Structure 1
Amino acid sequence: MDPYTPRTRPGTRKKNIGLSQKEYTKITGTIASVRRHRQPLDGIDDGLDSGSHFSGDRYSKNHNDSSFIAETSFVRAPLNSRVVSSSNPPKSKGKEKQESLDRIPLDIQEALVLEDLLFVLTGIEGTCITCHPEYSAEDDDPLQGIRFVVNSSLDSSLSDLVERIIPLGMYYTAISAFVEHRSHLDYGLVNHALCAAIREMLRDYQTLLSQLEHAFNTSASFSLQKLWFYVHPTVHTLSLIYQLILELATADDPGADASSSSSEEDDEEAAKNEALGLGGASLKAVLSEINKGDIAGSSSGISVKGGEVLTIIYERMQNMSGDPTASAIYGKLLKKAGKPYVEMLRDWVASGRLMDPYEELLVKESKFIDRGTLEMDYTDEYWERRYTLRDGSTSTGSSKRHQAGIPSPRSPGGRLPGGACVPPLLESWKHKILLAGKYLNVIRECGIEMPRDKAYGDDEELSMDEERFYKFIEDAYSHANRTLLQLLLKDQQLIPRLRSLKRFFFLSQSSFFTNLLDLSATELRKSSKSASVVKLQSLLDLALNTDAVGEDALFREDIRVTMADSGLYDFLMKVVTVTGAVKAEEGPAGPEETKKEKEEKKPMQAIDAMMFDYQVKFPLSLVISRKTILRYQLLFRFLLHLKHVEQGLCSMWTEQMTTPWRCAVPKHPEFAGWRLRVCLLRARMLAFIQQILAFVTFEVLEPNWHALEAKLDKVVTVDQLLRDHVDFLDTCLKESMLTSSSLIRACSKSIIACQTFAFYSSSFTKSANQAIAADDPTNDPSKTKRWDILNRFEAHFNHWFDSHLGHVQFNASSDNVSLLPLVVRLNSIKSMYATES
């Protein structure tokens, strides 16, 4: 290798390798002059000049030098004096004062600086260019890079140019440390792909350095200006990558500031707690549990990976869109880093397989939820929570970020961490991406395998910035949606099943139901715990075999008789009423509360507890789920209760057609008035029950069912099908007055008053016979009791009838205009019987 020669004029270099005696004398004299000024290295230089090797004394003198590293490899041995080792980091803070370059000629200074720069650009400390005095390899963050400084005695004409070049050393060391750190498995595939892309760029940089070193060693015309000319574009490129890795490295929530600020406020907070009586170990224990819960749902433990990495790159590319170089660099990194992300998305939307080992994708799977939960779950956990978006958003626009499992945003900027951060390019497509894979998984659960779409071959790469990628998502979503709709509507006969479900649960369309009530009248009069469900099921099968035709007969094996654990109105009040009472903390119950509890524990009749259940298999259980079956059951029990009370009042009317009620009693004018009042009250109650039953049946259920059928004929997505079905049931419940606590209370009290009055039918007949048999009507001992019972029934029914009418009118005028027909019906009853009274 030629000695480091000062710069010569272009074209003056000789073709032969040898030097003239004059040139050789000049060069050796210049080198000898430089060595005289390099005090710390004089011993080594003298040893090299004399041709001798390191002696024992010489080694003993320098064996503590931190730059010497024992190295058996011959390849790395020449770099031992400069390579930074983790075992022997450079102790720059205690570094000896650098030698002065004032007495060295300018061309020699340039040669020395050029030699140092070739090392510094690879992160190795030089002689004239060293690490910053404040830099420590043990204390400083390697992701910040090694800062280099130039010898202050270097000529200013060279120093200015060197200052522009040495940031490359900091950029290179920081980027190399980032690549090494983020290549660990825990950082996920996106970070691995990003590191591979950056490593490829660094390979180009290293190629440039090798070319520059070759030029330095072989070209006598190679100068500092030429070096700056070649590395100038690279400075900007590496600075862009350096800024990116800094943002990625510092994107986690800072914990130092929070800990310091909390420590400063500890004394003040403790004083406040003590003044408020909140101090003590118990409070600290509670607060520690709360803090644990906060940490579990926070973003501090989630590394920057997956969608968050792509988001940061995309945002930097958008913010620096005016810089062509930045757009090109960040665009390339976004494409390379997004490749595994796109591949995971392709697998998900095309085949329904979620291959996300490092939780980087915007879709997550709850594996503990399987389709078996559909048999017992009343909230559709399988469909709603089996596959969800990590950011907690839903297709309806609501957000569930407050729920467990949804990470909190990063404190700087409010960006969600890790895979929960949806790349901006996919923000408007995330719901279609979720639904496409969700539909395909339902199909796979049915035993139908979905092969990967071959529209775009496996070898063809797609990128998030290409229109073809979004066309692929749209096609995959349409295919999955169309396939599942076909499976539900055609193969699984969804529409006929919904029609049979309506006829089974809504009494006006159930031709078998009257026969069932007649067959099971004896069993239904028992208590709910004493009634035999097996016997009732046998009677139901008999009624279905006798009267069911068409679709009812086709699906009759799916309907079952069950018994409810609580009363209808109690259950509805629990659902619509929110209470914060804690039973364990309440005091001893008063006599009124004890009486109420005893009444609540009173066993129900089987007629009040009986309801139907409907069994369907997957995938129909997605549409006819436990959540929807529960709504059908509530409507059925309400209609059944109305029907039962109507039958009781009709039976009372039949009984009052007998002799005690129809015979003439001229000697008993008081009894005739009482008898008329009883019949009039029974007629008012019957009219009230029949109007409620007719309103719910013909003005709520029928119109809403026809609206649902019209929607099902035009449905285009499975999610829309599910929403339409649930909306139909929710609308029916609301318009049937079963979602408002005030309406439920007033309506239930009125209906129960009618039911109790019908139960007293035999008592009224007994009182009538006693009145007729009495010799002296004026001295009839049962007269007072007879009138007292009737007056209490009238007052009770009138009170709750007026209360119910008032609540119906209020709701009809505010948020439930569908109740207006019921207002007209109830007002007609009130005006008709008020006139007769």
Structure 2
Amino acid sequence: MYLTPKDYAINKLLYQLCKQLVEKDEVTHAYELAQRIMKDAIPSSHSQSNEVLIVEKIKRHFEVAGRDEDLEKFISLYRKLESSRVLKNLPAILALLDCVGTPETTLQPPPLMDIPQAVPDNVTVRRSFQLDTRSTQPTFLMRSLPVSSDESSLLATPRPQEISVLQQELSVAGSPLEILKSDVSEDELLQELVYAFQGIPGKILQLNAVTEDLTVNPSIKLSRPHRRMVLRLAELGWLHNQLRQFCNTSDVSLGLMEKGFLAALRSELTEYYRLVAMIQAQVQKQIQETVESPLTLRKLQVWALEPMFRLKWLVDIVTACSGRKAGALASCIHGYLQHGNPAVRAAVRHLLSMVCKPVYMMLSRWMLDGELEDPFGEFFIVADAEIKGDRLWHEKYKVQENLVPCFITMAQAKKILATGKSINFLREVCHDYPPIKGRDQLRRHLERTSVEALFTLDTESELQAVMDTAYLETSRRVLDVLNGPYMFMENLQALRRYLLLGQGDFIRHFMEIIYPELQKPASHLYPHVLSEILESAIRATNAQFENPDILERLDLRLLETSPGDTGWDVFSLDYHVDGPIGTIFGPSAASYLTLFNALWKSKRMEYVLTASWKRQVTSAKMLRKLPELAPLLQHTHLLTAEMIHFVHQMQYYTLFEVLECSWHTLIWDVQHAEALDDIIRAHNSFLTRIKKGALLDSDSQELSNQLRAVYELILQLQRLEEQLHTRSLEELNARANRETIVEKRGEVGQFGMSLAEEEALAAERRNFVDVYLPSVHAQLRVLAKSYQDVVKKFLLLLASHSDVSLQLLSVRLDFNEHYKRTDARLAAPYTYRRLSELAYKPPSYSK
């Protein structure tokens, strides 16, 4: 066919347009389709209404696909085209752009018939809007395509309205002519369906009070095709009623998130009413005047596919969210965001934005100002207004896990909690009010960020990065305040020096001057006397150079007394912590008291044994004048040395291997801490490790009992040795006095001793040698045997312990295998770990 230059230019432009819009291998097919469309122009009499419909369809396509930028570009271009005087048939051009620009429509040519062929019921189809540009009215085509499993289950799930369709179709009987007859026209059915779309029953479609669906009036005769299509379309009204019924819920008792959910659903209904209004306008125009391509039931059925698909999903979401509130509601809706259909994702994104908006506002206020505005208890951070002061950090604020949405991890929730909590901690506890670095940046970002950034939060998002920065800056400010005016590190060092006995000169001198007082019964102790002794120890040692604020915190405490208690049982040093540092040290006060008592008791055992050893050494030469005392003194000396070795090894293990190593780890953790919670965790771990190493935890109860028994035997030896030393000095002095008396009487010419005096002195000596010394020797043997048994059991427990450090401690305590030789249980292989378990590898020798 011969083409004029004008036709050739148009075809050339049309071909270039197709090349821009479709893939390379589909250009020819799209070009042929475009030529068909151009041949069938839309008459100008209905161009205005068609133009509106096509524009709305294109807009909806962009909205469903989430292409907001393309939607804005299309609106701008459409305004330019609308104001252009060159274009004569704008609706046809828009129809061309819509058909050619959609990849799905370019794959198949336009059908030969306006009405699509019926698709078998057993075939799963995907229905989408596609404008038939060969008609002068907006018609829609159905195309058979495979769908996803989720869409297939959705479309195949029988609803109450579909069940009613099947029941009424089965009830229809008659001849083929009767099947095609109807008492009402198709226009009346269209008008009736417009009302049914809004849930309004009429003379043809009536409301079933039991199933709440719309059914055909039995008195009205409809053909089977009409009945089938009418009942299928009436399902849209049933879905509308279900959604509207949920939206009519009273707002009085609902939270902000539930109200946002209702608002989103009502906006969906508003858009649905717009579509119904457009259909109503089309039907009214069709009734009032004759149109070339009228709206039919089949066209309306295809037209209703998209709103029916959307309403079905909305009803499914509403059903799943029934009874859920706050975070559970947001989590339930968020689960639909992973659907493969972009239309479903767009609808869910809109719903989730409305639901999460209150949470987003609460989160912004909390992270920016530390304020909680949660009148309905929907935010996942809750506060107890009655808690103040040092307990604010630990008890006032917490994360309520059942309110945390699924798109916010617990790690993120805890950082959000710590950010606002730090602001309140600085303001209420530290009395620090200057602005925090990074707060303005977070404010600006939250103001320009949409709610969608919240439920799309991930570790690499910009919002997460800004929130992490705010968290770090706020936490750093808290640490700077604690280390600055409130001297956190200085107070930590003071606890180490005084309550954990790290200040050796002070502890030694303090024990020497307070020892006589603590020997008294607990009821005879007076706090003011002990306070004077404490001040004397401070002035006499390097503790006098300590910071005055720390010395003011150092104090003593007397525990509750019981009958028979001495000063050693009730005395304890104390360190007062309040204000911001009380947040860290306050909850650990009981642990420090327990550790001080254990270390103080060990230091007392060292002091007692050292004093006994000094007495034995200094009096050894003097007591040589009592030769019958030598075996007993030797036994006492050996047992004392044995106990000293035990106590020294235990002290070395506790003070160096446990406390000093744990202290080194604590200092490293504190220096690398990012937030106050990190310091609290490091401090608690430090105390836990020390309590475990000092045998004060629940797993070391039996070991602790054996160690307490050893200490009790040491005190018994002290009392026995003091009594023996005193009695020996008395005997020595008595013999020395006898010699002095004899010598003085001889100088004056008298007899040295009378017979009665000789007999009395002999009786006293026999009582000392034959009665007292054997008695003491027997007590000493019983004491030594008890000590041996307790130590053996203690070593057995250490050797079979799972902790390698305690196993090695048992080796050091029995370094010469003295106890091992006397107890077969200690020599048994199962009581010691293999070398491999001790991480020991023998050296390898290469030839």
TM-score normalised by the shorter chain: which range applies? Answer: 0.5 to 0.7
Per-residue CA shift, 1:240-295, capped at 9, x if unaligned? 1111101112xx5xxxxxxxxxxxxxxxxxxxxxxxxxxxxxxxxxxxxxxxxxxx
Is 2:771 the counterpart of 1:781? yes
How far, CA to CA, are the matches of 1:103 and 1:708 in structure 2? 89
How far, CA to CA, are the matches of 1:147 and 1:537 in structure 2? 88
Report the alpha carbon displacement of residue 749 of structure 1 after superposing the two structures with TM.
Answer: 0.6
Alignment partner, residue 208 of structure 1: 275
SS state of the match for residue 307, structure 1? helix
How far, CA to CA, are the matches of 2:635 and 2:682 in structure 1? 48
SS state of the match for residue 781, structure 1? helix
Contact 2:362 2:374 in 1 (8 A): yes
Report the alpha carbon displacement of residue 520 of structure 1 after superposing the two structures with TM.
Answer: 2.9
How far, CA to CA, are the matches of 2:469 and 2:579 in structure 1? 26
SS state of the match for residue 382, structure 2? strand
Report the alpha carbon displacement of residue 605 of structure 1 after superposing the two structures with TM.
Answer: 1.6
Of 339, 360, 364, the residue aligned with 2:357 is 339
How far, CA to CA, are the matches of 2:651 and 2:332 in structure 1? 61
Alignment partner, residue 386 of structure 1: 396
How far, CA to CA, are the matches of 1:210 and 1:663 in structure 2? 121
How far, CA to CA, are the matches of 1:502 and 1:513 in structure 2? 12
How far, CA to CA, are the matches of 1:833 and 1:325 in structure 2? 80
How far, CA to CA, are the matches of 1:202 and 1:447 in structure 2? 52
Report the alpha carbon displacement of residue 129 of structure 1 after superposing the two structures with TM.
Answer: 0.8
SS state of the match for residue 187, structure 1? coil
Per-residue CA shift, 1:645-692, capped at 9, x if unaligned? 222222223333465874335763xx4212211222122222222222
Given the two structures, how large is their TM-score scaled by the length of structure 2? 0.66
Is 2:806 the counterpart of 1:819? yes
SS state of the match for residue 524, structure 2? coil
Is 2:801 the counterpart of 1:800? no
Larger deviation, residues 239-248 vs 727-736: 727-736
SS state of the match for residue 794, structure 1? helix
Q: Do the aligned partners of residues 207 and 768 (structure 1) sit closer, same or farther apart at CA in structure 2, a change above 3 Å counting? A: same
Contact 1:537 1:561 in 2 (8 A): yes
SS state of the match for residue 561, structure 1? strand
Contact 2:612 2:718 in 1 (8 A): yes
Of 672, 677, 681, the residue aligned with 2:635 is 677
Of 298, 308, 317, the residue aligned with 1:244 is 317
Alignment partner, residue 683 of structure 2: 725
Q: Do the aligned partners of residues 545 and 185 (structure 1) sit closer, same or farther apart at CA in structure 2, a change above 3 Å counting? A: farther
Q: Do the aligned partners of residues 674 and 779 (structure 1) sit closer, same or farther apart at CA in structure 2, a change above 3 Å counting? A: closer
Alignment partner, residue 332 of structure 2: 312
- The residue type equivalent to 1:307 in the other structure is G
Report the alpha carbon displacement of residue 105 of structure 1 after superposing the two structures with TM.
Answer: 6.7
Per-residue CA shift, 1:301-347, capped at 9, x if unaligned? xxx111111111111221xx221211111112112211111121222
Of 224, 228, 233, the residue aligned with 2:306 is 233
Larger deviation, residues 740-749 vs 507-516: 507-516
Equivalences, count: 601
Report the alpha carbon displacement of residue 826 of structure 1 after superposing the two structures with TM.
Answer: 0.9
How far, CA to CA, are the matches of 1:554 and 1:817 in structure 2? 41
- The residue type equivalent to 1:238 in the other structure is L
Q: Do the aligned partners of residues 162 and 541 (structure 1) sit closer, same or farther apart at CA in structure 2, a change above 3 Å counting? A: farther
Report the alpha carbon displacement of residue 612 of structure 1 after superposing the two structures with TM.
Answer: 2.0
Contact 1:743 1:807 in 2 (8 A): yes
Contact 1:524 1:607 in 2 (8 A): yes
How far, CA to CA, are the matches of 1:662 and 1:793 in structure 2? 26
Report the alpha carbon displacement of residue 498 of structure 1 after superposing the two structures with TM.
Answer: 0.9
SS state of the match for residue 520, structure 1? helix
How far, CA to CA, are the matches of 1:459 and 1:713 in structure 2? 36
Is 2:361 the counterpart of 1:350? no
- Give the alignment of 1:393-792 within 5 angstroms: 419=403, 421-426=404-409, 429-445=412-428, 446-449=430-433, 453=440, 454-456=443-445, 458=447, 460-463=449-452, 464=454, 465=456, 467-547=461-541, 548-551=543-546, 553-565=548-560, 601-627=562-588, 629-657=589-617, 662-665=622-625, 668=628, 671-739=629-697, 740-768=700-728, 774-776=764-766, 780-792=770-782
Give 5+ residue unaligned stretches, structure 1.
1-9, 15-96, 136-145, 253-303, 374-381, 392-415, 567-600
Alignment partner, residue 291 of structure 2: none
SS state of the match for residue 163, structure 1? helix
How far, CA to CA, are the matches of 1:791 and 1:720 in structure 2? 54
How far, CA to CA, are the matches of 1:611 and 1:650 in structure 2? 22
Q: Do the aligned partners of residues 505 and 534 (structure 1) sit closer, same or farther apart at CA in structure 2, a change above 3 Å counting? A: same
Q: Do the aligned partners of residues 667 and 107 (structure 1) sit closer, same or farther apart at CA in structure 2, a change above 3 Å counting? A: closer
Give 5+ residue unaligned stretches, structure 2.
1-41, 47-170, 288-293, 736-763, 823-847
Contact 1:113 1:129 in 2 (8 A): no
- The residue type equivalent to 2:246 in the other structure is F
Of 140, 147, 150, the residue aligned with 2:213 is 147
Q: Do the aligned partners of residues 645 and 307 (structure 1) sit closer, same or farther apart at CA in structure 2, a change above 3 Å counting? A: same
Report the alpha carbon displacement of residue 746 of structure 1 after superposing the two structures with TM.
Answer: 1.0
SS state of the match for residue 431, structure 2? coil
SS state of the match for residue 123, structure 1? coil
Larger deviation, residues 737-746 vs 435-444: 435-444
Contact 1:771 1:780 in 2 (8 A): no
Q: Do the aligned partners of residues 741 and 639 (structure 1) sit closer, same or farther apart at CA in structure 2, a change above 3 Å counting? A: same
Contact 1:161 1:228 in 2 (8 A): yes
Q: Do the aligned partners of residues 614 and 766 (structure 1) sit closer, same or farther apart at CA in structure 2, a change above 3 Å counting? A: closer
| Rg larger in structure | 2
Report the alpha carbon displacement of residue 386 of structure 1 after superposing the two structures with TM.
Answer: 2.7
- The residue type equivalent to 1:561 in the other structure is L
- Give the alignment of 1:73-88 within 5 angstroms: none
Larger deviation, residues 120-129 vs 524-533: 524-533
Report the alpha carbon displacement of residue 458 of structure 1 after superposing the two structures with TM.
Answer: 3.5
SS state of the match for residue 108, structure 1? coil
- Larger relative contact order, structure 1 or 2 (CA cutoff 8 Å, min sep 6): 1
How far, CA to CA, are the matches of 2:590 and 2:205 in structure 1? 79
Contact 1:544 1:553 in 2 (8 A): no
Contact 1:307 1:422 in 2 (8 A): yes
How far, CA to CA, are the matches of 1:158 and 1:779 in structure 2? 130
Contact 1:363 1:390 in 2 (8 A): yes
How far, CA to CA, are the matches of 1:386 and 1:608 in structure 2? 37
How far, CA to CA, are the matches of 1:229 and 1:170 in structure 2? 18
How far, CA to CA, are the matches of 1:514 and 1:343 in structure 2? 60
How far, CA to CA, are the matches of 2:414 and 2:232 in structure 1? 49
Alignment partner, residue 115 of structure 1: 191
Q: Do the aligned partners of residues 133 and 645 (structure 1) sit closer, same or farther apart at CA in structure 2, a change above 3 Å counting? A: closer
Q: Which has the higher helix share?
A: 2
Q: Do the aligned partners of residues 783 and 475 (structure 1) sit closer, same or farther apart at CA in structure 2, a change above 3 Å counting? A: closer
Report the alpha carbon displacement of residue 769 of structure 1 after superposing the two structures with TM.
Answer: 5.3
